[in-house]
A and B are shown apart, each in its own frame.
Chain A
Amino acid sequence: MNVKHILNEIEKVDPDVYGKLDTRRHAMKSFFRVSGKVALAAMPVMLGGMFKKAYGQGGGSGLFDILNYALTLEYLEDEFYKAALAAPNLIPAGAATGAIQTIGAHETAHVNLLRSAITAAQGTPVSKPTFDLSGGNGSNNGPFKDAVTTNYALFLAVAQTFEDTGVRAYKGQAAMDALIANNDVLQVALQIHSVEARHASHIRQMRKANGGLVPSGVNVKPWITGKQSGIDTTAVQASYDGEEITTQATIQITGIAPGISADAASEAFDEPLTMAAVLQIVDPFIVP
Chain B
Amino acid sequence: MSKINESGNGTLLPRLHETNPVSRRNFLGYAGGAAALAMAFTACDKNDNENDEDGINLGSGDVGILNYAYALEQLEAAFYSKVLETPYTSMPAAEQALLQDIRDHEIAHREFFKAALGSGAIQALTPNWGSLDFTKRDQVLATAKAFEDLGVAAYNGAGKLISTTTDGKTYLTLAGKIVSVEARHAAYIRDLISNGTFADSTIVDAMGLDAAKPPSEVLAIANTFLSTRVSGRNLPTS
Contact = CB atoms under 8 A, between A and B. Distances in A.
A268 B181 contact: yes
B160 interface: yes
Contact of A103 (B108, B110, B199): B199
Instruction: Provide the main secondary structure of the chain A interface.
Output: helix
A227 interface: no
Contact of A194 (B101, B104, B108, B156): B156
Interface string A3-44: 000000000011110000000000000000000000000000
B161 to A, nearest CB: 9
A187 interface: yes
A194 B180 contact: yes
Nearest to A13: B207
Given A187-B156, A191-B209, A248-B174, A95 B196 contact: yes
Contacts of B173: 171, 174-175, 272
From B105, B162, B183, name the one whose CB has the most chain A CB atoms within 10 angstroms: B183
A13 B169 CA distance: 30
Given A180-B169, A190-B179, A195-B208, A265 B159 contact: no
A186 B169 CA distance: 12
A261 interface: yes
A249 B170 contact: yes
From A192, A193, A268, name the one whose CB has the most chain B CB atoms within 10 angstroms: A268
Nearest to B163: A180
Interface in B191-207: 191, 195-196, 198-200, 204-207
Interface stretch (A61-69, A104-112, A124-132, A142-150): A104-112
Instruction: Provide the main secondary structure of the chain B interface.
Output: helix
A195 B196 CA distance: 14
B208 A105 contact: yes
A257 B183 contact: no
Nearest to A195: B210
B146 interface: no
Nearest to A174: B176
Contacts of B116: 249, 251
B186 A198 contact: yes
Contacts of B178: 268-269
A85 interface: no
B86 interface: no
A267 B178 CA distance: 10
A51 interface: no
Nearest to B186: A198
B107 A260 contact: yes
Contacts of A177: 164
B184 interface: yes
From A103, A106, A112, A175, name the one whose CB has the most chain B CB atoms within 10 angstroms: A175
A171 B177 contact: yes
A113 B172 contact: no
B211 A257 contact: no
Interface of A: 13-16, 95, 98-99, 102-103, 105-110, 112-113, 167, 170-171, 174-175, 177, 180-181, 183-184, 186-188, 190-202, 205, 221-223, 248-249, 251, 253, 256-257, 259-261, 264-265, 267-272
24 contacts: A15-B205, A99-B198, A107-B208, A109-B207, A113-B207, A170-B176, A171-B180, A174-B173, A181-B164, A186-B159, A190-B159, A192-B210, A197-B180, A197-B184, A198-B183, A199-B187, A199-B199, A200-B184, A221-B101, A248-B112, A249-B170, A264-B101, A268-B178, A269-B178
Given A186-B159, A253-B108, 4 more contacts: A190-B176, A191-B156, A192-B209, A223-B184
Interface of B: 98, 101, 104-105, 107-112, 115-116, 152, 155-157, 159-160, 162, 164, 168-170, 172-174, 176-188, 191, 195-196, 198-200, 204-212, 238
